[in-house]
Each structure stands twice: as C-alpha cells, then as structure tokens.
Amino acid sequence: MLRVLLVLLACLMGLDEAASAQFGPVAQFVPMAVTVTGAGGRPVEGLTKNDFTLLEDGKSQKIAVCEFQDLRHAPPPREGPDPEPPPDTMVSVRELTQERPGSRMFSDRRLLVLYFDLSLMTVADQLRAQAAAVKFVRTQMEAVDKVAVLAFYGGDVHVRADFTDDRDLLARTIRDLKPDSEGGLGADLALESLRSVSRLVAGVSERKSLICFGSHLRQRGLNNLSSVQPAVLAAGSSNTSISVIDATASPGPGEETAFLRLAAETGGKALLDGGDLSSKIVAVEQAASSYYLLGYYSTNSSKLDGGFRTVAISLKDGGASLGYRRGYYSGIDYRKLRLASTEEALQMLFHMDAPWTDIPVQAEVDSFSLDPDRSRVEVTIRMPGRERSLVRKSGIERTSFDFLGEVTREDKLVESLRDTLEVKMPEVRFQEDPAPIVYHHSFTLAPGAYTLRLIVRNRESGRATVYLTPFTVMSGRAVRGQIPISSVVLGPDITHVFPQGSAMTVSLEAYEPSAQTARQLTARVTLYRGTNKIFETLAVPATGPPDANSHAVPLALQVPLRALSAGEYRCEVTVADPAGKRSARWEAPILIAPER
C-alpha cells in the first residue's frame, strides 16, 4: 500500500517541478532519499519510519513512507521484457517509462541517466564523451545498474534509451548520437534543459543519478542568476542528483560556476578537471549507495510561496551517519498567480523566494561615463519571438509585456523600474515569429557594484520570468597606466552568437582628458580558440576628439567572420595609447554558428 502511494505521488510530482503543482490548500508531499551508514561506511538495514525524526523549519513532521533500497546486490531478473528501445534514427521520444501503481520495476536498482547536452560541447568533446560512455556501459557498468540515455539537440531534450541494463542497446544508442553544433555560450539554456530532464524522470520514484556532459564548464557564464534555483528545485522534486563532467581534454582554470553550485545543491559531483571520463562516470555510480526513501506531508502547505524549507533528519538512537538534501523549495499557488491582476501578479513574483523562469530572457547591462562621478547604464532585455505565438487569445493585434524591477547597492534600493512594452502579434495566429522581442531601459548611476532584479510578465498568457544579475559601473577617472573604457558592445545581437559569413560590430568609448591624447588611441580585436590566435584586425584609430563633458572618445570596428570556421572563440578587445604606454583590455566568449 505504501508503495502504491509513493508511486502515485511521485507521478504527481512530475507534473511540475515545484514539488507538485498546487491549486488550493492541498498538503504537499515531500520525498527524501536518506543514506544511513554505520561503522566502516556500511549501510544500516532494518530501520522503520519510527526510527527517524524529521523536522521541517524546526517543526516535527509525520513520516508516511519509509522504504529501504538495497543497491549492493543485483536483484533477480524482472518478469517481462524491458521497454521497447527508440528507433535508431535521431527522433524524439516524449517520455521515459512511468512506474505503474504497485510496480517494483526499479526497486533495489541504481538508476543512472547519461545526459549529453550537445549544445554544451564542441564536436571533439562530444566524441570523447560518447567514447567514455560506451566504455562504461561495456566494461564498468554493474549488474545492479539500469541506465537511460538522453540528449539535447535541435533545441529540445530527446529520450534515446529508456532505463535498461542491455549493454548492447546502450552502447549502440550512445554511438548513434550525431554531433550537433559547436557548443553554446551560456549556462542558462543548459539549466533550462536540465529542468526538462528532471521532469522526464519524475515518474520513477527511486533516486536517480543524472550525469551531464559538457565542455569548458568552469568558463561558462550565467546570464540570469535566477536560473540555478529552478533546476535545483526540479531535481529535488524528482528525487534526482545532478553531476557534471567536463569532457574537455584540458579544461583550464575557471571560477565557481552554476554547474558547481548545481551539483552541490542536488547532492551530485562536479568533475571538471579533465582526465579519464569513464572513471568519472564510475565515481558518480559508486557514490549512489543504498538508501531509505522517506516521504511525508508537509504541515507548511498552507503557505505556498515558493520559499525554502529547511529539513533536518536524525535517528532517535543515533550511532550512524546520515546523508540527505538539506531542504527544498515549496510549491506555489499557480492558480492564484495566473488569475491575479497585472499589478498583483508582479508584486507576488517580486516578493517570491523561489524564482520563476517561464520566459527565456537574456540581458546585457552596459555603462557609459557621463562624467567621472556618473554613468549612463543601458539595460537591454531580449526574449525569443515565439513568445508572441504563446498568447492564446484570438482577435488581438498586440500583446503586452510588463516590467517591474529594482537596482540595489549593498541591499539598499537605488533605482526602480515599472514599464510596459507593447508588441505586435504575428499576422497568422500561433505562427512563430523569428524576430526577437527587445526592450531597452536606462539608469544614471555612480560608479560601484550593483544588482538588478527584474520581473518580466506577459499580460495575456501570464508567463513570467524573474531575472537577477550583478553588474559593475566603472569610473571614468584615469588610473596610472590604464585607459578608462566603457562597456564593450558586440552587435548586432546581445546573445554574442553570429552566423557564419556575417560580420560582428564592436563599439565602445574610451575616456581621455584632452584632444591630443585622444588622437593617439587605437583599438583592435583578436579572436582566440584556446590559446591559439586565429584572427586579428588592424589597429583602428579613434575617430574624433573627446566629448566636452564626458571626455568620451568613440571607437568602432567591424570584424568580418566569413573566413572563420564555426565554433567558440574568445574575443579580446585592446585599446592602446602607444605614446603614453597605456592600454585597456576586455574579453568575452562568442559563438560563430554554422550556416543551416
């Protein structure tokens, strides 16, 4: 009976990553995977729900489900065949097998999901990851394992093989993956695709270990900081840990990224230092030890605000070590949010702890000095054109996007924003419009470090996104040996993705105290792949004297891309004053997309 209850509730959780969509005061069911180890790290067996104490936000919770999953030994063969594999061609299969009520299909099985995000990898790294995965399923996969294969390509997540222990099928499926593009730029799309993967595996209640392969994961920036929490929330709701493996032969140094945070907050591993990839798959596999699957109905369900709930689990008799995720984001009253008026909905989203990311949003924040103590800050928001086609009301010629935001410095409000953008609908209803939706806004700010928090909501569809990013406004004052410069704007699109054969525009301002030094300034653009210099422009001189007030000297270049192959590049812009031995340097990743 408990098994039936757990499977049904797990299936319900798959409907939405907010640990089950809430449409009223319904108790929220929370699953928790708990490892219990004694002396020597051996799993402790024979415990019941009465042996555990579980607190949520300090309040005792009644445990409804307690089931031990033994992953040390291969279970006896299950009656009946495995699910039919997908065709050999690269087609989309909508979902993985869903557990039927009372089924023990995956009981005492270690479930691994090999996920190839082809948008995150160069072709060479895709081939390395595939070779390592084939080696794993051929020679290192254990009898207790069942493995599924998923891939992201063509803008969507595709199920290539359902959970199975058929090594031949898995090896063939992995080898048959076709290289996609030469890799994407940011982590936002990857995190959104991981949310989709978590939803696909939510119909299986047992714990899953998802292994995501990518390239240069330490160097991939996150455009929207709010993108991490939905991926963590989705993984927790589907009882999934996410591990990331960098398939790059020599990844190189980098900063803490969204992928490290994602692995840490879902109980996975971040293996980003290159080396033998199949051994890293084994490391994730072996980390999935026997565990107890606990489930309870939260007594906090009356307040569905998307807030974080802290969970503490202990044994009444002690004497063992416990491992589990330390909390989760609560559900959200979606019906209330969808039916709210425009202003009510914006305020609800603005004060919600958990982020909301319906609309894919990219933003660029650029600053240009007005004088040494003030800068004009330009905010550009870009949304895909398909957002027009998602409006389900007929007979309307325009749709509205509402914006509510604030700029803070050290948690203090500096500037606020409330605006509406009217957008023309496509001539044919539900026709996808390739032209992006772009919104601009500007602030005047002093030099310093700030945070922009912005809510974007479509008034007709109710779709919305919470966007969060830090930014820095540089001073226009001169520093010894350096030339003060503005933000560097790469055009024509803030995505920094350029079609093969096109041209990239580069524009910026340098700040000089006199016309004499301004005439000596030059700028050039250099493109690198790894440490190899691939292309460099000639040094282009400044076009005129400084502005009388801001001392801004405009610099503009055009970079032809027709002779360059598709792939990722590091774009470096250098401003120099040869006479004064001063310079400024700026860099960012770009992607040259192959022609379709």
Sequence-ordered strand ranges (E) for 197-304:
208-214, 240-246, 270-271, 291-298
The pLDDT assigned to 497 comes to 86
Residue whose C-alpha is closest to residue 577's, from 557, 555, 560: 555
Say which range, 4-13, 79-88, 560-569, has the weakest mean pLDDT: 4-13
Write out pLDDT tens, residues 32-63: 889 898 887 788 999 999 999 999 999 999 99
Q: How confident is the model at residue 101 (pLDDT cuts 50, 70, 90)?
A: low
pLDDT at 403 over 90: yes
Higher-confidence position of 389 and 46: 46
Q: What is the average per-residue pLDDT within 525-545?
A: 89
- CB 379, CB 440: distance < 8 Å: yes
First vs last Cα of the chain: how many Å apart? 54
- Residue 559 pLDDT > 90, yes or no? yes
> Which residues does residue 405 pair with via DSSP β-bridges, in sequence order?
417, 454
What is residue 139's predicted lDDT score, i.e. its pLDDT?
93
User: How wide is the angle at C-alpha 346 spanned by C-alphas 340 and 351, nearest 5°?
Assistant: 110
Distance CA 443, CA 368 (A): 11
| pLDDT over 80 (residue 253) | no
Q: What is the pLDDT of residue 434?
A: 67
* Selected residue with higher pLDDT from 294 and 156: 294
Across 516-542, average pLDDT = 87
Q: Domains plus CATH for the chain?
A: 1-70+290-332 (2.60.40), 71-76+88-286 (3.40.50.410), 342-473 (2.60.40.10), 489-593 (2.70.50.30)
pLDDT at res. 540: 92
Q: Record the tokens describing residue 418, joined without a space.
A: 């409330």
Judge whether residue 574 has pLDDT over 50: yes
Report, as an integer, the average pLDDT of 297-314. Answer: 79
**Do 204 and 99 meet the contact criterion of CB atoms below 8 Å apart?**
yes
Instruction: Say which residue the tokens 């031995």 belong to.
Output: 581
Please give the single-letter amino acid code of residue 185. L
More confident call, 171 vs 78 = 171
| pLDDT value, residue 225 | 64
Backbone angles phi, psi at 195, to 5 degrees: -60, -40
CB atoms within 10 A of CB 58: 7
- Which of 147-161, 176-190, 374-388 bottoms out in mean pLDDT, i.e. has the lowest? 176-190
Least confident among 228-232, 369-373, 446-450, 558-562: 228-232
Sign of CA dihedral 168, 173, 178, 180: negative
Distance CA 205, CA 569 (A): 42
Task: Give the single-character DSSP code of 179.
Answer: P
Average pLDDT over residues 329-350: 72
Is residue 527 scored above 90 in pLDDT? Answer: yes
The C-alpha atoms of residue 539 and residue 526 are separated, in whole angstroms, by 10
Per-residue pLDDT for 224 more than 80? no
pLDDT higher than 90, residue 584: yes
Tell the burial category of 426 from Cβ atoms under 10 Å away from its Cβ (0-12, 13-18, 19+): middle
* Helix%, strand%, coil% for the chain, nearest 5: 20, 40, 40
- Range in 238-242, 272-276, 461-465 with the lowest mean pLDDT: 272-276
Tell whether the model's pLDDT for residue 3 goes beyond 70. Answer: no
Query: Which contiguous run of DSSP H or E holds residue 59?
Result: strand 59-60
Beta strands in 353-502 (DSSP E): 362-371, 374-383, 398-409, 412-424, 437-445, 448-458, 464-473, 489-491, 497-499
Q: Is the pLDDT of residue 1 over 60?
A: no
> Residue 437's pLDDT is what?
92
* Highest-confidence segment of 13-17, 29-33, 48-52: 48-52
Percentage of the chain exceeding pLDDT 70: 78
Residue 19 has pLDDT above 50, yes or no: no
Rounded CA-CA distance 143/482 in Å is: 62
Lowest-confidence range among 147-156, 411-420, 428-437? 428-437
Q: What is the pLDDT of residue 335?
A: 67
Mean pLDDT over all residues of the chain? 80
- Pick from 14-28, 321-335, 397-411, 429-443: least confident: 14-28
Phi, psi of 578 (to 5 degrees): -55, -40
Using pLDDT thresholds of 50, 70 and 90, give the confidence band for residue 160.
Answer: very high
**Whole-number Å distance between alpha carbons of 231 and 229:** 5
Tokens of 543: 């076009």
* Integer Cα distance of 435 and 122 in angstroms: 27
What does the pLDDT average to over 368-372? 89
Candidate ranges 23-27, 156-160, 543-547; pick with highest mean pLDDT: 156-160
- How many CA atoms within 13 Å lie on the side-chain side of 236? 28
Name the helix (H) or strand (E) containing 287: helix 277-287
Tokens of 260: 């490290």
Q: Which of 458 and 27 is assigned the larger pLDDT?
A: 458
Confidence of residue 514 (pLDDT cuts 50, 70, 90): low
Beta-carbon contacts of 244 under 8 Å, excluding residues fewer than 6 positions away, are 211, 212, 213, 214, 217, 259, 260, 262, 263, 268, 269, 270, 271, 272
- Beta carbons within 10 angstroms of residue 409's beta carbon: 15
- Mean pLDDT on 466-482: 84
Over residues 319-339, mean pLDDT: 75
Name the pairing type of β-strands 110-117 and 145-153.
parallel
**Which amino acid makes up residue 477?**
R
Backbone angles phi, psi at 390, to 5 degrees: -85, -5
**How many Å apart are CA 196 and CA 194, to the nearest integer?**
5
Specify the pTM: 0.68
Q: Which helix (H) or strand (E) holds 532?
A: strand 532-536
Q: Which two tokens stand for residue 498?
A: 């350029």
Maximum mean pLDDT: which of 75-89, 156-170, 222-236? 156-170
